[in-house]
Amino acid sequence: MQTLDEKTFLASRRELLLSYAIYVESKDSQDECFDMVEAGLQQPAEVLQNIPPENFMTATRQRAWEGIDQLTLAYSAGHTTADLRALYPTILEYWEEFARYDTAFDLQASAAERGFPHFALPDVAYEQVNRMICLGILLGWGNLLPRLAPVIDFNNHEKDGLVERLLAFSIDGRDTDWPECTRHLPYFKTLKIFAAEEKDRPALMQDYLEEWYYASRREPYYDSHERDTSFLGYWSWEAAAITCLLDIDDSSYRDATFYPADLTAFFRQARVDYEPDGGGPVPANELRAKAGDPCPKAGTWESLDIPPRAMSYEREQPMLDLESGYGLTVWRYLEN
């Protein structure tokens, strides 16, 4: 993802408390992490086999953390929703690769170091998980959440009511009756929105957003604008994700502080854009992009046309419009 110039940043940023200097410093640090980990993993096999498993685990963990932070930062800075959507599958791959290395480390670790979650829900990692789930939903990647769920579930023996309810829209068998949240405030207050009658949900969500920031005072993002480079923006991702999943009319709180309203609008339009008439829902784990989108993953893509047409794309290359009969051409990923 290209760094925004200052003029574009100032014209398009969504989080007015974010400065251009902090944006650039944070993004440069994140990009450096991505490059260093990628270079490290591409070393010759005879070098890699002599590196301790813990090193792979800690490096890929940092990249996973930086990945979801960059997605958050990019939203606050004003990157387009198309760019954000294209980035999500890469961040998901970072999380999956960390999970593989952490599992390998867990298998050979001492008893004292074994049995920890990849992302502990009772800890501050909850907020990272919340962002990863909600942004997956909001950016039109709900069909990829079956890949994310095993990463979250690993050694997390205590369930979380909000996580279970969010994942249940994409994954069968989640416990939608679980009555508690591992971090409690502010997230516990969302459970009554799920349980409420349809007509009562807008008012409950409006109340939730009004109380969200103060209720978040024990969360790692609280007052983070006073800590310089740790600031990524203040957004109630779960409010937007719940609005989308429950199809709540957000007209009464669309302009509320902390509510990412444009992501709700993007989600609702994505259901039209990526599911052409008669094509049915997007299959689980399938990557799709429409004409004009930056390519989410390098490799071969096939148009949803009759007859289909296959083309090779590089990551972030604009997807072509073949003037399909149903509108803008939609592409699905075939292989690398």
Alpha helices in 51-124 (DSSP H): 53-77, 81-108
Residues above pLDDT 90, as percent of the chain: 92
Residue of 266 and 112 predicted with greater confidence: 266
Q: Kindly give, in sequence order, each residue whose CB lies less than 8 Å from that of residue 154, ignoring residues fewer than 6 positions away.
A: 99, 102, 103, 117, 118
User: What is the rounded distance in angstroms from the CA atom of residue 119 to the CA atom of residue 156?
Assistant: 8
- pLDDT score of 264: 99
- pLDDT score of 275: 87
Mean pLDDT rounded to a whole number for the chain: 96
Q: Kindly give, in sequence order, each residue whose CB lies less than 8 Å from that of residue 114, ignoring residues fewer than 6 positions away.
A: 106
Tokens of 193: 């929105």
- pLDDT score of 41: 98
140-181 tens-digit pLDDT: 999 999 999 999 999 999 999 999 999 999 999 999 999 999
Tokens of 5: 């110039």
Between 32-41, 91-100, 120-129, 278-287, the lowest mean confidence (pLDDT) is in 278-287
Helix (H) / strand (E) element for 33: namely: helix 20-41
242-259 tens-digit pLDDT: 999 999 999 999 999 999
Task: Read off the pLDDT of each residue in 28-57 and give the average, rounded to a whole number.
Answer: 97
Domains observed in the chain? 6-273 (1.10.3920.10), 288-335 (no CATH)
- pLDDT score of 190: 99
DSSP class per residue in 187-239: GGGGHHHHHS-GGGHHHHHHHHHHHHHHHTTTSTTTTGGGGGGG------HHH
User: What percent of the residues of the chain are helix, what percent strand, and what percent coil, each to the nearest 5?
Assistant: 55, 5, 40
User: What is the rounded distance in angstroms from the CA atom of residue 26 to the CA atom of residue 293?
Assistant: 25
Among 128, 138, 113, 196, smallest CA distance to 163 is for 128
Task: Read off the pLDDT of each residue in 47-56 and give the average, rounded to a whole number.
Answer: 96
Task: Read off the pLDDT of each residue in 29-39 and give the average, rounded to a whole number.
Answer: 98
Question: Tokens 């005879």 correspond to what residue?
Answer: 46
Residue 205 reports pLDDT greater than 90: yes
Is there a contact between 207 and 186 (Cβ–Cβ < 8 Å)? no
Residue 277 reports pLDDT greater than 80: no
Kind of pairing between the strands at 288-290 and 330-335? antiparallel
- Give residue 336's pLDDT band: very low, low, confident or very high (50, 70, 90): low
The angle at the Cα of 69, spanning 140 to 97, to the nearest 5 degrees, equals 75
- The amino acid present at 33, given as its one-letter code, is C
